[in-house]
Structure 1
Amino acid sequence: MKQRIYTLLFCLFFSTLLLAQQSIDKKLVGFWSSIISKTKEDPIEGKWLINRKADGTFAMYLEILNNNDTIYAKQKGRWWTENGNYYEAGDVEYGDIYTYKTDGNKVDFRLIKNRFPQGFKTVKYSEVKAKDQSDYYEEKYSVFSAKTLQKTFEMEDKMNGFSYDELDGTQDARLVGVWTGSEKDNQMEGTSKEWEMTRNTDGTFVLDFRVKSKGKKMQSHIEKGKWWVKDNKFYEYHEDSEMTDVYTFEVLNDNQIKFKEYNLSVDQNKSNYEFIDTRKK
């Protein structure tokens, strides 16, 4: 029993000692902003806003420029000062330790010796006192997160073959029937294809196509799937690959339809892939 009490007292004493060593420099409390500059190792640029609170917590908002896109990120965690050094512990703990020097509305940080900067920070950087822009960044971050989540769902759906829901589509009577077509060097240089496509009124199709490549024998293949039309776009779901190809289309006359790629599951050798189906019967 005594041993357990001594152990508990020791733990309490050790925890108190650690808390005493980790202090909060009130000069660093508040909103501060900084610039992310390009480097040879990392060509990204942007800025961040950090809100350090007196209770030792912080919220950081990142605005990063990546080519023509703007990325918004958010991180929460703890901060403290110890023996003249500045520490942060968030979702991603980089393990960097900075010395710092305050000068009114500016703070200069410098990485301690024998360490290398990680993440978006550099060996030395400065922060300046800033206004509360947390509402602005919260809105930007929320919108960006929602769009990113939507893109993730769309990507997962497309990989599973359910990127497009045929329940909202219809079968355009002008596309029903047996059609033939051909193309060369579009999907692969030196490869030609010809096909016979049967589109049924119930939304199913049978595609019988033949492929000829240089130095190889003609190969035949039959694919089955579903087709539908929505918003003047033609959707073609393939059962084998579980992928959906999307085309815009134009009915040239009763016997010819022009298709142009909109979103294809297979990369083509040439951009703006298009072809014409000619009615067989």
Structure 2
Amino acid sequence: MLKIGFLGSGKMAQALAKGFIASGLTRAENLIASSPPQDSKLLEEFQSLGGKITNDNTEVTRQADILILAVKPFAVTPVLESIKNSFSNSHLLMSIAMGIKIEALEKCLPGKPRILRAMPNTPAAFGVGASVICGGSYATPQDVDLAEKLMSAVGICRTAPETSFDAITALSGSGPAYVFTIIEALSDGGVKMGLPRDLATQLAIQTTLGAATMAKLSDDHLAVLREAVTSPAGSTAAGLHVLEKGGVRGWIASAVEAATERCILVSSKK
């Protein structure tokens, strides 16, 4: 089975680890993660999944063939510096670090490092993630296929040019936070109208799930699906009028724009 090492043991690393184990792609004992001592709580959480933990990044390179770089952008250079003497041609590195371009990663490692870049999201922990990947200068077609297999095990996976990654990060990487906010708002509306909080939240979650499933499985355009729920002079039309008047559509699009600009800013500093 695949031996996968995580350089970083945060929430995204944990989500991927959960997904890989649940999918049967590998076993927990074949996973190892590293983080500095001050991140002991994150390491404990990763260990609770059944994986091995260490404070030594080179230990991860010794025990794994596939390395997943899962650290904050500011930590990328020191982490890669710490493994450059133990990194070899047999290793495949997949970075999920926001905003860090493949070219910058390649410069941190010796020789012709096989590197890919991926942008997953946290629903990968439950096998319903959305990921996009692209290969670096020295990554082989087989490397890209393997990365696609990894990410497809925890949801859907697509390939795209690296120039699209800032917008992808803003849309699908940050997107779950936007959706959670919408679900909370739906629940709050139900409570305001007299529903118990538990019932309102359950209905909001299931309604969101159901609508997303319909959008995925139906051949109809999203506008057609929306119109099918909207009767003339009905309650849905009244509610949609308030959303449009409040500029909800524009605010959500602007959130993606703002997140993209933040990613671009991070990229420009590297």
- Greater per-residue helix proportion: 2
TM-score category, normalised to shorter length: under 0.3
Scaled by the length of structure 1, what TM-score is found?
0.23
Report 1 or 2 for greater relative contact order, CA contacts < 8 Å, sequence distance ≥ 6: 2
The structure that has the greater radius of gyration is 1
